[in-house]
Amino acid sequence: MIPYGKQQIDQSDIDAVVEVLKSDFLTQGPMVPRFEQTIARYCGVGDAVAVNSGTSALHIACLALDLGPGDTLWTSPITFVASANCALYCGAKVDFVDIDPATYNMSPEALEEKLKQARESKSLPKVVVPVHMCGQPCNMEAIHALAQEYDFRVIEDACHALGGKYKQEPIGNCRYSDITIFSFHPVKIITTGEGGMAVTNDQTLAERMELLRSHGITRNVTTYGSMGVRESGSKTHPYAHTPIPPYTNTPKHPYIDTPKPAYYYEQIDLGFNYRMTDIQAALGISQMKRLDQFVARRSQLAARYDELLSDLPVTTPWQHPNGSSAWHLYVVRLDLEKMNLTRRQVFEYLRKKGIGINVHYIPVHTHPYYQAMGFEWGMFPESEKYYQEAITLPLFPAMTEKEQDRVVDALKRILPTEHTEGH
Ligand SMILES: *Cc1c(COP(=O)(O)O)cnc(C)c1O
C-alpha cells in the first residue's frame, strides 16, 4: 500500500537520537531550547514553546489568551478535530466559519458576515483559529483586519504549513496573529514522533505557555506569588470552575521572606505535563536541516500531479497567488457531475489497488460529539460539499515518480477522461 503520508528518517536523525540516549538528559535538557531556537529562527518569530503535541500547543495557546467559560472560539469545519476541541478543554464554546470553496480555508467573507451577525447578538468570538489547510496559507491579512475591527485574538493552526510562505514570509512569523502552532506528528512536514510547538512575538504569552506546559510551576524568583498567567479580569479557572483564590502576600511559607533554598519552586497556575523530551527535540533539530528539501520535493511532486491529472474530471489544488504551500496534503475534488460514481466508489477502488488514499476531513461539526451540542448537517454547506468530493492522494518526500504514476494510472482507470466524457 502506498500511504498518503510518511515520515522520512535517515541515519543523521538516528544518530541525533542515539546521542541523547547516551547523554545525561532525556528530558528538560539542552535539546528542547535548541529546537525552540531553530524553529523561532526559521519562522522569524520572537519566542517558541515546545510541547508534546500540536493538540497541547492549541490548548495552552487558548489558555494563554485567557479563553474560558463564557467565551467562544471559531474555527473551520474542514480541519482535524483538535482545532475545535481546544476550546472545549478550556470550558469555552466552539462555532465554525464555512470554507471558501476554492481554497478550502476559512472564508474571510463568511467570517465577516458571521462577525456582523455576532455583533448584533453580542456573541463575538474571543479567539479565531484559521487553519492553513493542506499547507496553503489562509488570507491572514483579511483575518487580521477583522481581528482589529471586531477585537478577537488569532491562533494560526499551521500544523500543515511549516516551511510554507505567505507574502514572501515564513508561516509562523505571527505578523497577522497572536500565536501560531505546529505539529510534528509523523505525517506532518517534519516529525519528532509526537510533538508540537507554539510560537509568538508576545513575550508574556510565551511565558504563560511555558508555565502551562509544566504544571504552572515556576522557579523564577521574579514570578513568585504573581499568579502571572491570567490576564486581570479573569476570575475563573477553566478546570476548577471556581474563583481563583486571591493571592495574598501573607508569609505562610516559612521561606517566603528569605532567600529561597535551591529546591524551592512555586505553582502559580494550574498547568499540565505537556513537556517535549530531549529525545524528540534532537530528532526535530535533525529534521529541520532537511525541511526545505522536504518541502521542495513535496512541491515538485504536487506540480507533477497537477500535470498528470489535467485531463481528468478533478479539481487540482488552488495555489495562493502570493504565497507557497508546504504541501502537507494533495487534495483533489472529484467532479461528481461528470461521472457515474460516488466518492466512496472511487475511494474503495483505489484502496483495493493498493493506493492509500484518504479523506481530509470529515467536517468537525458533523461528528456525533458535536451534533450532540446542536450542530447539524446543512449548517456549513461549502464544507459539506467539499467533504462529498475530496480525496487525498499520497504525497510524501520519499515518494518515487513510479509510485506517483501508479496512483495516476489507477485514477485514470476508474475516472472518465475528458475525451470519453459524455459518451
Ligand atoms: C495534526 C493536526 C493537529 C494536531 O496535532 P497533533 O500533534 O496530532 O496533536 C491539529 N490541527 C491540524 C490541522 C492537524 O493537522
Q: Which residues of the chain have pLDDT under 50?
A: 228-229, 231-243, 421-423
Check residue 232 and give its pLDDT.
Answer: 40
**Cα angle vertex 147, ends 144, 151, to 5°?**
155
Question: Which residues of the chain are in CATH 3.90.1150.10 domains?
Answer: 291-414
Check residue 260 and give its pLDDT.
Answer: 76
Atom 2 of ligand 1, nearest CA residue: 159
C-alpha cell belonging to residue 191: 516529525
CA–centroid distance, 261 to ligand 1, in Å, is 41
Check residue 168 and give its pLDDT.
Answer: 95
Check residue 422 and give its pLDDT.
Answer: 45
Q: Which positions ≥6 away from 55 have C-beta within 8 Å?
A: 82, 85, 86, 183, 196
By most ligand atoms within 8 Å of CB, the mutation choice from 4, 78, 83 for ligand 1 is: 83
Tell which phi-psi region holds residue 31, choosing left (phi > 0), alpha (psi between -120 and 50) or beta.
alpha
Which atom of ligand 1 approaches the CA of 185 most closely? 7
By most ligand atoms within 8 Å of CB, the mutation choice from 183, 197, 325 for ligand 1 is: 183
CA–centroid distance, 82 to ligand 1, in Å, is 6
Which atom of ligand 1 approaches the CA of 196 most closely? 7
Return the CATH number of the domain spanning residue range 291-414.
3.90.1150.10
CA–centroid distance, 79 to ligand 1, in Å, is 9
Which atom of ligand 1 approaches the CA of 56 most closely? 9
Check residue 420 and give its pLDDT.
Answer: 53
Check residue 235 and give its pLDDT.
Answer: 39
Check residue 256 and give its pLDDT.
Answer: 57
CA 188 to chain centre: 10
Return the CATH number of the domain spanning residue range 11-217+271-288.
3.40.640.10
Question: Which amino acids bring their CB within 6 angstroms of ligand 1?
Answer: 53-55, 79-80, 82-83, 131, 157, 159-160, 183, 185, 196
Return d(Cα 158, Cα 176) in angstroms, integer: 13
Question: Which residues of the chain are in CATH 3.40.640.10 domains?
Answer: 11-217+271-288
